C-alpha cells in the first residue's frame, strides 16, 4: 500500500528524505495553495505536512476523507484546527525539540544586539553617520539575568550567559531548589526578577496564566536600566504596557521576535527607537528547519507503518475510541476537579495522587488519570500537554504521581479524589457522579460541599459568621456579576467556613481585592473551568 503525503509549505527537502526515499510513500510538494485549491486535492492524502503558512481549517479537515495525520514542522500549531482534527480522528503532531538550539542562540543574539545597540549603530553607519557616543552600550559581565520559564530553551540561554559572567535568577513553577542549585542559578519569583534583574528573557508557553505576565505592574517594580527580550510567544509581554514603560523611562530597552498579532504590520513597536525587532526568526536556521523536517517525516513513517506516536498535539489515536457514556462522565468530572485543584494550589505541584473508590476503580482508570494529569499540567505547560505525553511530561517535571484503587465505597457508591501537594500546602478535590443529578464536586480540602461545576466560580475561606454571604452578593451585584448557585460548608459552628458561588461572569482581581477590604475573608479565588461540550 502506498501512503500519499502532501507538503503544502516550504520544508527542508533534505529533512524529508525518510519519506521521499521510502518505497511505501509518495510525497507531493505543492506550496502556496489557496484554501479552495487545498479543498479540491486534500481527499487524496493520508498525511499533510505544514509550517505556519497553510491554515488547516475545519472545512479542509472535513473534506480530508482519508487524512490520518497532520504534521506541523515546528512547535506552534495555531494554524491548525486541533478540535476539528480530533473530532475527525486525525492525529496532529509537531516537532517540539527541533528548534531548541536555534531559539536559544537567537535569544542570546537579541540580548547582545540590544545591549550594544548593534541594529541602530548599523543603520546609522550605513547612512554615513559616525555617532560613537550615541550608541554607547552596557556590558553583560556581572549583570543579573532574569529567566522567566526554565525549560530547555530558558536553561540553555542561562548556561550560555553564565559564561559571560552573568548571575541568573530563574522562575519556573516546576523548577526545584535542588535543580536550580545544580545549574548554578537562583530560584526567584517573577516579582523578585522584576526588582533585581538587569536583563530579562521570557521562555514560557502562552497560556491564560502567562498572557500579560509581563505587564505594567512588573515594569513599575523594575530598574530603569532593565532590558527585556521575548523570543517565546507574543502576548506574554503586554505590548501597550511595554511601550508605556519605555516612553516613561521605567525600563531601558526591549527586543522582540514575537508579537501578539503577526505580522505586526501597523504596530507602534516597529517604529519605537528603544525596541529592536525580528520577524519571528527563533527557529529560522538551516539546521533547525532540517531537524524539524527529519522529526515529522520520521514520525509520519512510524505512525502510518507501525502505529507508533511520539509527539502528538492531540490524542484521537489511543485505544479509547469506544468510550461509554458513564466513563466519559468520569473523565469530564476528573478533568474539572483537577483543573479546580491546580487553581487553588499556590505554585506547582510536586506530587499528584488520584484515588478511585468503588466501581469506578474498575473502569478506564488509565484514561481518567491521564485526563486529570493533562489538565493539571496544561495550566503551566499549555497545549503541548495531551493524553499521550501527560505522564512522560509529569516525570520530566519531576512530579511524583501515585494511583490508588479502593473497593470500599464510603459515603458514595463511586468517588474520585485528586490530591495535589507541594512544599507548602495540599489541595484535595473529591468528585462523584450521582444518578439523576450528574457530576458533582463533593469535597474541597476538609470541607464537604455539593456543587455542579460551572464556567466561573468565586470560592472563599472565611470565618463562620453572619453576613458574609450578603456582603459578597451585594458587592458582586454592584459589579454586575450574577450568582447562579451557591454551596456552603464549614468545619464546626463558629469555626472556619467555605462558600462556593457559581457565577455567570469571571470575577476580576479588582473585585476580589474589594472583597478582601470588607474584612473577614481569609482566602478568595476566582476560578474558571473548561466545561465539556455537549
Catalytic sites, residue numbers: 233, 262, 280
Do 521 and 461 meet the contact criterion of CB atoms below 8 Å apart? yes
Helix H or strand E encompassing 66: none
Distance, in Å, from the CA atom of 292 to the CA atom of 304, rounded to the nearest integer, reads 18
Distance, in Å, from the CA atom of 80 to the CA atom of 92, rounded to the nearest integer, reads 8
Distance, in Å, from the CA atom of 280 to the CA atom of 275, rounded to the nearest integer, reads 15
Helix H or strand E encompassing 416: strand 414-421
Please, which contacts does 141-144 make with residues 24 or more away whose CB atoms are closer than 8 Å?
Answer: 141/165, 141/166, 142/166, 142/167, 143/167, 143/198, 143/199, 144/168, 144/169, 144/196, 144/197, 144/198, 144/199
Joined together, the cell numbers standing for residue 246 give 519605555
Do 357 and 334 meet the contact criterion of CB atoms below 8 Å apart? no
DSSP string of 492-534, one letter each residue: STTSEEEEEEEESS---HHHHHHHHHHS-EEEEEEEE--PPP-
Q: Give the residue carrying C-alpha cell 525600563.
A: 251
Distance of CA 105 to the CA centre of its chain: 22
Amino acid at each position: 500500500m502506498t501512503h500519499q503525503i502532501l507538503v503544502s509549505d516550504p520544508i527542508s527537502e533534505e529533512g524529508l528524505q525518510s519519506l521521499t526515499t521510502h518505497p511505501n510513500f509518495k510525497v507531493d510538494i505543492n506550496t502556496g495553495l489557496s484554501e479552495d485549491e487545498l479543498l479540491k486535492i486534500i481527499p487524496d492524502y493520508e498525511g499533510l505536512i505544514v509550517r505556519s503558512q497553510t491554515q488547516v481549517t475545519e472545512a479542509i479537515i472535513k473534506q480530508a476523507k482519508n487524512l490520518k495525520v497532520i504534521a506541523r514542522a515546528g512547535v506552534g500549531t495555531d494554524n491548525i484546527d486541533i478540535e476539528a482534527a480530533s473530532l475527525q480522528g486525525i492525529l496532529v503532531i509537531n516537532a517540539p525539540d527541533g528548534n531548541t538550539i536555534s531559539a536559544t542562540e537567537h535569544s542570546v543574539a537579541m540580548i547582545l544586539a540590544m545591549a550594544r545597540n548593534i541594529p541602530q549603530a548599523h543603520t546609522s553607519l550605513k547612512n554615513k553617520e559616525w555617532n560613537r557616543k550615541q550608541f554607547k552600550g552596557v556590558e553583560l559581565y556581572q549583570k543579573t539575568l532574569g529567566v522567566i520559564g526554565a525549560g530547555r530553551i530558558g536553561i540553555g540561554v542561562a548556561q550560555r550567559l553564565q559564561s559571560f559572567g552573568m548571575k541568573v535568577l530563574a522562575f519556573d513553577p516546576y523548577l526545584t531548589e535542588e535543580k536550580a542549585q545544580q545549574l548554578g542559578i537562583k530560584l526567584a519569583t517573577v516579582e523578585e526578577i522584576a526588582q533585581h534583574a538587569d536583563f530579562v528573557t521570557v521562555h514560557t508557553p502562552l497560556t491564560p496564566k502567562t498572557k500579560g505576565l509581563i505587564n505594567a505592574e512588573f515594569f513599575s517594580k523594575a530598574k530603569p536600566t532593565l532590558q527585556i527580550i521575548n523570543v517565546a510567544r507574543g502576548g506574554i509581554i503586554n505590548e501597550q504596557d511595554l511601550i508605556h514603560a519605555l516612553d516613561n523611562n521605567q525600563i531601558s530597552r526591549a527586543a522582540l521576535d514575537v508579537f501578539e498579532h503577526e505580522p505586526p504590520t501597523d504596530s507602534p513597536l516597529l517604529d519605537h527607537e528603544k525596541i529592536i525587532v525580528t520577524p519571528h526568526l527563533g527557529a529560522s536556521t538551516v539546521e533547525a528547519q532540517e531537524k524539524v523536517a527529519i522529526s515529522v517525516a520520521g514520525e509520519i513513517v512510524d505512525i502510518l507503518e507501525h502505529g507508533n506516536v511520539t509527539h502528538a498535539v492531540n490524542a484521537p489515536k489511543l485505544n479509547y475510541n469506544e468510550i461509554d457514556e458513564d466513563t466519559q462522565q468520569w473523565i469530564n468530572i476528573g478533568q474539572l476537579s483537577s483543573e479546580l485543584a491546580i487553581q487553588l494550589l499556590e505554585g506547582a505541584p510536586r506530587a499528584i495522587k488520584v484515588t478511585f473508590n468503588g466501581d469506578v476503580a474498575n473502569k478506564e482508570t488509565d484514561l481518567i488519570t491521564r485526563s486529570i494529569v493533562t489538565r493539571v499540567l496544561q495550566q503551566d505547560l499549555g497545549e503541548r500537554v495531551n493524553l499521550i505525553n501527560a505522564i512522560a511530561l509529569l516525570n520530566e517535571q519531576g512530579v511524583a504521581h501515585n494511583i490508588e484503587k479502593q473497593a470500599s465505597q464510603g459515603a458514595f457508591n463511586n468517588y474520585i479524589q485528586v490530591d495535589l501537594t507541594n512544599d507548602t500546602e495540599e489541595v484535595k478535590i473529591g468528585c462523584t457522579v450521582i444518578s439523576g443529578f450528574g457530576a458533582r464536586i463533593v469535597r474541597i480540602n476538609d470541607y464537604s460541599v455539593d456543587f455542579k461545576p460551572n464556567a466561573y466560580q468565586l470560592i472563599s475561606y472565611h470565618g463562620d459568621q453572619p453576613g458574609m454571604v450578603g456582603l459578597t452578593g451585594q458587592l458582586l451585584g454592584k459589579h454586575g456579576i450574577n450568582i447562579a448557585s451557591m454551596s456552603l460548608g464549614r468545619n464546626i459552628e463558629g469555626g472556619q467556613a467555605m462558600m462556593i458561588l457559581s457565577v455567570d461572569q469571571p470575577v476580576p482581581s479588582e473585585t476580589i481585592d474589594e472583597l478582601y477590604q470588607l474584612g473577614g475573608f481569609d482566602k478568595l479565588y476566582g476560578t474558571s473551568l473548561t466545561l465539556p461540550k455537549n
